[in-house]
Structure 1
Amino acid sequence: MKKMNRNKILMLFLLLLAGISAHSEPYEGVRDIASRRFPWLVKGLVLEIIPASEGNEVFELSTNNGKVLVAASSASAAAEGLNWYLKYYCNRSMSHFGDQLSALNKLPEIKNKVRIISPYRYRYALNYCTISYSMSFYTWKDWERELDWMALNGVNLMLAPVGMEGVWQGTLRKLGYTEKEITDFIAGPAFGAWWLMGNLEGWGGPVSQALIDQQVLLQQKILKRMKQLGMEPVMHGFYGMIPSNLKDKAAIKVIDQGLWAGGFKRPDFLLPEDPYFDKVANIYYAEMKKLYGDDLHFFGGDPFHEGGTSKGADLAASGKHIQQVMQQNYPGATWVLQGWQQNPADALLSGLNKDKTLVIELFGENTNNWEKRHGYENTPFVWSNVSNFGEKNGIYGKLQRFSDEVFRAKNSTYASSLKGIGIIPEGIYNNPVAYDLMLELGWHKDHLDLKKWIGSYTNYRYGKRSSTIDKAWAVFLETAYSSPEVNQEGPSESIFCARPAMDIESVSSWGTRKRNYDVEQFEEGVRMFVAAAKEFEGLETYQTDRIDFVRQLQANRADKVYASMMQAIKTKNLEEFKSSSAKFKHMILQQDSLLSTSKYFLLNRWLQQSLDFGASKSDKENALMNAKTQIIFWGPVNNPKTDLHDYAHKEWSGVLSTIYLSRWEQFINWQIAKMSSKNVPEPDYFKMETEWVKRKDLYPSKSLTKKELDRLIERMVRKE
């Protein structure tokens, strides 16, 4: 009787399993990516589950009877495997700077099965700043595309602090805050990153209830999709940041964090030793669970970030308690910390459970803190690089260093602490080669041969091999994409975007105008690249890169014209100044016309995105003001000397021909008046900037025809 029951149970189990198999298949989320982005591949795609390789993610590729089989140990590995086939067999690709995903009539065959194992546990993506500089106004459509790209590039751990407004609203309500007090604390949509990092409060607000609810729903969609694609979100944890007026409502121990860049008042730090810390933290995590569930395993948040004072705090005890409260609310969670400047302090790390800590080494293209700080005192870490600050335009990326340093760290004394690689750009709409390379390094156990890889990259980026393109890219590797031993925060900046002055060394406070490569040699590479235009006619990836390379060429040349202007001022040569300044203005307008032909270089795209983001009229107006403020003077509005002005400047059509050109025209007129012995005050650039922000213009593009664009590029390359 018992044997018969067991047989019945076994039969029912097998029938149930067969039913499940008949109605579902492995990695449906990955198949859905193919359906959305390259449907021509879906019918021939077979997905299969295989075991991990000694705990490491793995994928295998093979073809049979016109079908391509992607066998993988996880959804993340399956998506990477799909992209590997797409890139290296179909010569197709997806990027933030154009797609090359046209259909193939026949799926390419794989002669020998490919088996790739990731040597790393994590392939990490995003900086808090990316959320604001690139994704401030993302809708679900934008996030869906973003997550598809992340998955295809093997990302399995991604910063995802969207919708934290709802968590903080619920928390502060329970602490007795009024609705106005809550929205006075929450930052606007373009400044949320710095609010969450404890750098400011309220700037860019107020936000409406509709917007808070909108972001909560958006985050819920993001988390659901990430789970389907095998990606873990890094949420925003409670690390002691509180509104600076909470001390007026309760008798608590805080450390005033003073001022951040630009003169912003920072939120306070609530000492973890104070019993009120647990009260706030427990409410915060309860609100997190209410909105986003309890299936969360990673939390970010950095006390004393970027200059915050820790004086009066026992760092080891503080770190230990922050982590303990996190663990009490989310057992087994990992605290993700930013390895930036002096963060996290050794003393803070000393109090942590290292098994539940992960440090993201941010600035790998310039520093080797992982080595100097002994693997962050033997704490698990991810090697990554920022590469771009403020989403400024500029051809840049220390590609050889990426490959060399990852391999060196992997074979160093601290190899056991190296748990992954990652991309941490402040803005991601630039230099697609840098992100492709960095994330692919997550699947290479050997030292990557960059010159060989770049040939494969151009093949899949442009759809076919070209000797002309290969020669051009060989030059780019030796120039703009080289790896000089100099500390540089992102790409070299364009003088066009600078607030006018004499002898400008940088456009933004921490940037540089210096070109650490041979600009004449770079020009030769651009000429070669442009010469291949007919061969790649109508291809978005080529056209986008062509515009970007010519843009860089023009920005480089502008340095010499600016130098001539400065020399004319110093020698009081009025005619020379008039001549060089006229040429300078002409170059700005040429640049604006060039960039008007690509959606990736349009002010209108960014502004329209901000309007589409808000639901109500007031939300739309505020989002538009956020968008314009961020790329010009940043803030605050009461500080004309803010060192954040032009930090996120953009060489975009619509910005160049308006506020940037206007500033330079005012400067030029002022200098001409001075050289003509007229007593004229210096222009008030900050006033011009704030007035520009207040205007509701969207600066729609006046794009050129193909023929006009080709002629313009020809003239620009020939210096006309």
Structure 2
Amino acid sequence: MLRIFLLSVILASSSCLYAQNSIGEVREVIRRFAGEFPAKLKLSFIDKENNCDVFETKVRNGRLEIRGSSGVALCRGFYDFIKSNHAGISAWSGNRCIFPASLPENMEKRVVSPFPRHYYYNVVTYGYTLPYWDWQRWEEEIDWMALHGVDMPLALVANEAITARVWKRLGLTEEEIQSYFVGPAHLPWMRMGNISQIDGPMPVEWHSDQVELQHKILKRMKLLGMKPICPAFAGFVPLALKRLYPDVKIIETTWAGFHNWMLSPEEELFTRIGQLFIEEWEKEFGKNDFYLADSFNEMDVPFPPIGTKERYDMLAFYGEQVYKGIKAGNPDAVWVMQGWMFGYQRDIWDYETLQALVSKVPDDKMMLLDLAADYNKNVWGNGMNWEFYKGFFNKLWVYSVIPNMGGKTGATGILSFYANGHLEALNSPNRGRLFGFGMAPEGTENNEVVYEMICDAGWSSSEIDVKQWLKDYSLCRYGKTCPEMDEVWEGLCKSVYGTFTDHPRFLWQLRPGRSGKGTVNTDSNFYRAVEKMAECAPKMTESPLFKADFLEMTAFYLGGKMEALASAIGKSYLYGNTADALKMQQQFEELGEGLDSLLESHPVYRLQRWIDFARKHGDTEKLKDYYEMNARRIVTIWGPPVSDYACKLWSGLIRDYYLPRWREYFRCKETGSKYDLASWESDWVTQKKGVSPMTPYADPVEAAIRWIQKAKEVETFKEEETVIGYWTPSDVSTTWKDVIYNIPAEKLPVLRGILFEYVRGARKLDISEVTLVADGKEVCKVVQNGTTGDVNRDNFFYFQIPEGATGNNECYIRARVQSDGDADSYGEVRIILAR
């Protein structure tokens, strides 16, 4: 009896100490946000309601009391109070918080989250945004999470440090381990079995750096009441494991032209490694409740065909083995799995396939992240996953959206969907065990209005009035507003924030000559909106966040005009109007230089900031250079392939990469000489260091207004939708050569073929074969002897595209062409679509 009493005293003391420490962390979050902890603020804990977080705010006798069911709930309660009084906002571009001098007496509010948990991050956010962050930046981010009500973030830092310990326990050498690992920015794809060896071997110094950082991250998250999702073993191993276990079955995996190796789940070693990883992780970082293991990201399932008993038996066995490995290390842990492929690859992940995979895992020990509801609704149009899989077979699941691909900075996102799309899941008869709400952006620090909306939606079970929300958002963000801002938001909601573009990027951010048009929705509504914002700007100069937003929107404005010029320049060369082309080239470069100069004053959109993060991790000049090289690669050539996937609109990247690449292209167009942009791009990644100097504008807002007036003169026109590119003498030669043209991935379902149309020149163009490539795989190939010139023969290449073919990372056609006699040949390349 005495032992039970003593144990209860110890547990109560421990709980009390945790509560004190948690309150202390909440106070620090508020202090950093508000500048100081408000003297008239009291914090205390209350119980959850139906397993969901709750907060209450109350003002009595000039004092604000916030009660919450967790550290995150308390932070969200404070943030909600600040926003309800238009007193501030927390954003990546900067914070604004002015605690009211006089509090609204007798104000009471109680908010219960409709979801038990609020999820955040994508596996690849650790490549496109997070790979090189230091503790200072992570502390800012965890503050942002807490204020926005996020309590279930992915926490994948130091994954490789623990993995290396497991490999060493099995007998692999340090050289074998480090040679398998890729550069830090590419680790997410190695973890999912997509790639290996890019920018390898990884420096061994990276591990200690990351272990120290992860200790700080996890400690802060847990003190605030968050439930971080940590990594687990998903099955991918170095091929060198064969040296130690020559008889084990290892399967080569492929993705976008890269490869990795997967240990067969049939091997006893599979479960053993899973157990060793959890044991090593918890030995270093302590117990954890949720572990992520992803095994089939955008890859074919390496099992028998759909409809066969063998397929479903093997999948059930695989799921069981993954869970067994986690359970052996921690019997209480929950296996978490990303579900991007559930909507993206329905042809592979039919109902029975997913059912089999999860069938032998206890219902309360598996959580599925329904990653991309916005894609189901607005891109694929294939119905919501919770309906298709009928509530995910009674497993825990999280409603999520992907508001960003690759960290692209182009504006996009249907605000009305992000405000209220989750209500469809909450009210569905197939909601099953809906456990969380979240967002899984591939990159952050962009489109801040979208993320603010998503976070507010996650704490609301009723419909949000988008128009009123935007009025409040402006007041919170800027401290005041002006009449023109209503027209600004109206125009943006009819353009960039009324359409969903999965890959918003400008034509001039892609390799010249490879694509006919960009995808940022800079239509007339958008241009009018930014022009209205310029009218508002002189009245808003005191707001740093208005300045940041205005510079960003001006950058998109100029980027759209550059888009029009790039298309017109290509047309001019095609039709022989060299004088017009040269004039427009000068305009194009002037706008690009102006855009770059404006963004030098933006708090986030700068290449120098990205490189500085990377170089901080090196103790020697050699290590600093290595990390910078890897950081440069991920935002430009990626591998290659997957080039230009990130498409950041950053100062420094524009003046040092995008513009020089176009200048070289223009030079070749003007002279008719050949260009080798691939070599130029590779040299920029591996040989260049730092960013060229730039003096920012003394008054960037005034400069932005001037640039908008100047850019107004550039006429915009709509490129014919079916034209994807051109050929000119600089593109072809008298010997067979492969030329590449990008294709919008969303056109795949209706794509019927490619047409080559001669425009002018003394020579015809011969085409011997055309291959359609999506995500690094050949979707189909047509071989025929085609000609286009004064006489056309077989110049249309008909595609028979397999049902369910998709392309997210890169989609293009590769054509083998030559001209006869010399290279004097010009023409257009068109895609033919089903009506």
> What aligned pairs does 1:232-381 form with structure 2 within 5 A after superposition?
232-261=227-256, 263-266=257-260, 268-293=261-286, 295-311=287-303, 314-342=314-342, 345-346=353-354, 347-367=356-376, 368-381=384-397
Please, which of 74, 77, 83 is the counterpart of residue 79 of structure 2?
83
- 1:446 is paired with a residue whose SS is coil
* Structure 2 match to 1:520: 524
Residue 685 of structure 2 corresponds to 693
Letter in 2 for 1:568: S
The 5-angstrom pairing of residues 621-632 of structure 1 reads: 621-632=625-636
Q: 2:153 aligns with which of 149, 155, 158?
A: 158
* 1:612 pairs with one of 599, 610, 616: 616
Of 663, 667, 676, the match for 1:684: 676
Q: Which residue of 1 aligns with 2:121?
A: 126
Structure 2 CA distance, aligned partners of 1:612 and 1:550? Answer: 31
> Is the contact between residue 368 and residue 397 of structure 2 (CA under 8 Å) also seen in structure 1?
yes
2: CA distance, partners of 1:354 / 1:613: 42
Mapped pair 1:705 → 2:717: no
Matched, 1:450 2:466: yes
Distance 2:420 2:99 in 1: 36
Could you tell me how far 1:340 is from its partner in structure 2? Answer: 0.9
Corresponding residue for residue 441 of structure 2: 425
Q: Which runs of 5+ in 2 are unaligned?
A: 305-310, 377-383, 714-835
1:557 corresponds to 2:568: no
Q: Cα deviation per residue 1:287-320 (whole Å; 9 max; x = unaligned)?
A: 1122112x20111121122114422670111101
Alpha-carbon distance, 1:470 to partner: 2.6
Distance change >3 Å, CA 290–CA 202, structure 1 → 2: farther
Cross-structure match for 1:96: 92
1:610 is displaced (CA, Å) by: 0.9
TM-score (norm 1): 0.90
Matched, 1:658 2:656: yes
Paired position in structure 2 for 1:495:
507
The aligned residue for residue 137 of structure 1 is 132
1:152-171 per-residue CA deviation (whole Å, 9 max, x = no partner) reads 11111110010012111100
Question: Which amino acid is the alignment partner of residue 502 of structure 2?
Answer: E
Separation in 1, partners of 2:89, 2:524:
31
Q: Which structure is higher in strand share? A: 2
Corresponding residue of 2:768: none
Seen in structure 2, the aligned counterparts of structure 1 residues 718 and 581 have a Cα distance that, compared at 3 Å, is closer
Tell me the TM-score normalized by structure 2. 0.78
Q: 1:542 to 1:568 in 2, by over 3 A?
A: same
Tell me the CA shift for residue 276 of structure 1: 1.4
Give the SS at the match of 2:252: coil
Amino acid at match of 2:670: I
The answer to whether the 8 Å contact 2:554/2:704 transfers is: no
Between the aligned partners of 2:480 and 2:270, the Cα distance in structure 1 is 59
Match for 1:645: what amino acid? S
Rounded Cα–Cα distance in structure 2 between residues aligned with 1:534 and 1:322: 59
Deviates more, 1:593-602 or 1:344-353: 344-353
Report the equivalent of 1:509.
none
Specify every segment of 5 or more residues in structure 1 that has no aligned partner in the other structure, as ranges.
Answer: 506-512, 637-641, 675-679
In the TM superposition, residue 30 of structure 1 has moved relative to its aligned partner by 0.8
Q: Structure 1 residue 669 and structure 2 residue 636: aligned?
A: no
Alpha carbons 1:253, 1:274 under 8 Å: kept: yes
Q: Which moved more, 1:377-386 or 1:344-353?
A: 344-353
1:388 maps to which of 391, 404, 412: 404
Identify the match of residue 195 of structure 2 among 188, 192, 200.
200
d(CA) in 2 for partners of 1:19 and 1:591? 54
In structure 2, what is the Cα distance between the partners aligned to 1:19 and 1:621? 47
Match of 1:472 in 2: 488
Deviation at residue 80 of structure 1 after TM alignment: 0.9
Equivalent residue, structure 2, for 1:508: none
- 3-state SS, counterpart of residue 99 of structure 1: strand
C-alpha change, 1:466 and 1:416, in structure 2 (3 Å) is farther
Q: Distance in 2 between matches of 1:288 and 1:464?
A: 49
* Secondary structure, aligned partner of 1:445: coil
User: Any conservation in 1 of the 2:46–2:68 contact (CA below 8 Å)?
Assistant: yes
The 1-side partners of 2:101 and 2:539 are apart by 22
Classify 1:431/1:315 alpha carbon distance in 2 versus 1 (closer, same or farther; 3 Å): same
Aligned Cα root-mean-square deviation (Å): 2.7
CA-CA distance at 1:141 after TM superposition: 0.7
Q: 1:72-92: per-residue Cα shift (whole Å, max 9, x none)? A: 111121111111112222521
Return the alpha-carbon distance in structure 2 between the equivalents of residues 606 and 26 of structure 1. Answer: 32
Contact 1:304 1:310 in 2 (8 A): no
Residues in 2 aligned to 1:289 and 1:299: alpha-carbon distance in whole angstroms: 11
Cα–Cα, structure 1 residues 17 and 277, in superposed 2: closer, same or farther, change >3 Å? closer
Aligned to 2:89, the other structure's residue is in SS state coil
The whole-number CA distance in structure 2 between the counterparts of 1:178 and 1:403 is 51
Distance 1:690 1:503, change over 3 A: closer
Which residue does the alignment assign to 2:776?
none
Q: Is the partner of 2:206 in helix, strand or coil?
A: helix
Task: Give the deviation of 1:707 after TM superposition.
Answer: 3.4
Greater RCO structure (CA 8 Å; 6+ sep): 1
Equivalent pairs, count: 685
Amino acid at match of 1:276: L
What CA distance in whole angstroms lies between the structure 2 residues aligned with 1:281 and 1:246?
A: 15
Identify the residue that residue 818 of structure 2 maps to in structure 1: none
2:55 counterpart of 1:59: yes
Classify 1:588/1:255 alpha carbon distance in 2 versus 1 (closer, same or farther; 3 Å).
Answer: same
Structure showing the higher helix proportion among its residues: 1
* 2:273–2:325 CA contact under 8 A, matched in 1: no
Q: Structure 1: how far apart are the matches of 2:515 and 2:45?
A: 61
